[in-house]
Amino acid sequence: MNLNKILPQTLKIHQEKKALVCGNFEFTYKQFGNRVGKLASSLIKLGITKGKKVAVFHKNCHYFLESYFAVMHSGAALVPLNTYLSKDELAFILNDSETDLLIADSDLYSKVDDIKKLINKDVKIILTGENYEDFIRSADSNLPLIDNNKKDIAQIYYTSGTTGRSKGVILSHKNVYCHSLCAIEELNLNSKDIWLHAAPLFHLADAWATWAITLVGGTHVLVNEFNPKRIFQKIEKNRVTLTNLVPTMYYRLVNDPDVNKYDYSSLRVLMSGGAPISPSLVKRIIETFKCDYIQTYGLTETSPFLTMSILKDHLKDLSYENQLKYKSTTGRKFKCVELKVVNKKGREVKKNNKEVGEIIVKGDSITQGYWKLPQETKKVFKNGWLYTGDMAIIDKEDYVTIVDRKNDMIITGGENVYSIEVENVLYQHPAVLEAAVIGMSDNEWGEIVKAILVLKDGKSATERDIIEFCKGKLSIFKVPKIVEFKDCLPKLGSGKICKKMLKIDS
């Protein structure tokens, strides 16, 4: 279960098949394999071997894909960097991970130059727009055969820091490989699939497909930034069959005025993950793109998938509206994990879609812990189970629905308010484009419910309009007492709305 077995295996079968499309670049698997071999050989020659760390600071590009594979073939571990982080945050990750070499986008050089002054050690830097091609030109193109152990560190992904200090999540070769095999089985991935890398490759919402799509000999199509019209064009031109985006991206897609001008007939499934999604948006996605839809849920710590809203066979006989209810849930468990929803005493909650508990998981795709943080690791693991911090309900069919993060739950006048429930109602308002619900301190109630909204272009609404809209759809204590309107909401690199920033601003 070593990741450096994936590309050689694919090369035996799919050498002349198109491996990737990136701007004006198109590579067959043979060409891609040669480039990966050259980069891996060059890294080894530079001293990047087992125990070393290679960070990648790059927009979506074939260079990023090459780095994922080449670092595995050098025996080192990869540290993907979020391009939206500040220089201080990036420097912290490079120092904490003990990175030895940085592969960076030359377009981001100004930030790299600032980071260099804050790094504790002499980190070698390769810029893809400048010395990358020179670095690999004369190297051996054969893929180095490094005998990685399945427990060896393959990647260290740093969490967004929404719960405090940014932590490095350790993923082993076994974690990622097992996840890939299960994703292939769950999604029926095959060599005819064409995956669109529209979400950032530094985030596992997209990066998992690096391995699974390659393992089946599919094609990677890359876009370096999210833009609705570019996404539409790529789907049409490259005959994309599937992709995974976060809900905020889907909101922009379905609300774009040009969404109905393109051909999406190649799509077989669209997936959403990274944040909860409203049932109304799920319906619009299915009706707009006329393909299957799968809601996913997972964590960086779990490689990432824990659930998928794929219908069980007997549920496919239900009416469209009832099928939609299941497709809009967080989903049933992913194949390579065990999953429970438990109360504070650790007992499983009733499967009545009402009793709320915390999702806990274990399995071969689950992290062994956090980099250099044994105490933090100990906090989230109990008796071999990872406690996710996500609160959910579960039904008799074992489909779970997340209601909130444990830390985002609002307690007002002694009553629990789950922000996702309120957000789902807000998204039903015809003027609302994006919504976030947070708790604000209040002397009388402890906390009160606050909604922060972005309105659609050309639409208007007042605070009173929004509050009146929510009445009757929500219990009175769940109705927002304050409504604030913004031009945009702060987002993490994955595209997920950052409630931590909203709480700070409030």
Is residue 10 within 8 A of residue 217, CB to CB? The reply is yes
CB 171 within 8 A of CB 197: no
Q: Are β-strands 446-455 and 482-485 bridged in parallel, bridged antiparallel, or unpaired?
A: parallel
Any idea which residue has 């960076």 for tokens?
104
| CB neighbour list of residue 131: distance below 8 Å, 6 or more residues apart | none
> At 325, is the secondary structure helix, strand, or coil?
helix
- Mapped to the 3 state alphabet, what secondary structure does 273-309 carry? CCCCCCHHHHHHHHHHHCCEEEEEEECHHHCCEEEEC
Q: What are residue 97's DSSP bridge partners?
A: none
CA dihedral sign of residues 448, 449, 454, 456: negative
Q: Where are the alpha helices (DSSP H) in 370-456?
A: 374-380, 419-426
* pTM for the predicted model, two decimal places: 0.87
Residue 103 is inside which H or E element, if any? strand 101-104
List of domains in the chain: 3-225 (3.40.50.12780), 410-505 (3.30.300.30)
- Scored b (16 or more CB within 10 A) or e, 272-297 reads bbbbbbbbebbbbbbebbebebbbbb
Count the Cβ atoms, other than its own, within 10 Å of residue 142: 13
Q: Are 198 and 248 in contact (CB under 8 A)?
A: no
d(CA 98, CA 22): 31
Which residue's entry shows tokens 């986008």? 105
What does the pLDDT profile of the chain (506 residues) look like in tens digits? 799 999 999 999 999 999 999 999 999 999 999 999 999 999 999 999 999 999 999 999 999 999 999 999 999 999 999 998 888 889 999 999 999 999 999 999 888 989 998 998 899 999 998 899 999 999 999 999 888 888 999 999 998 654 456 899 999 999 999 999 999 999 999 999 999 999 999 999 999 999 999 999 999 999 999 999 999 999 999 999 999 998 889 989 999 999 999 999 999 999 998 777 888 889 999 999 999 999 999 999 999 999 999 999 999 999 999 999 999 999 999 999 999 999 999 999 999 999 999 999 999 999 999 999 999 999 999 999 999 999 999 999 999 999 888 888 898 877 888 888 899 999 999 999 999 999 988 877 888 999 999 999 999 999 999 999 999 899 898 999 999 999 999 987 777 888 888 887 76
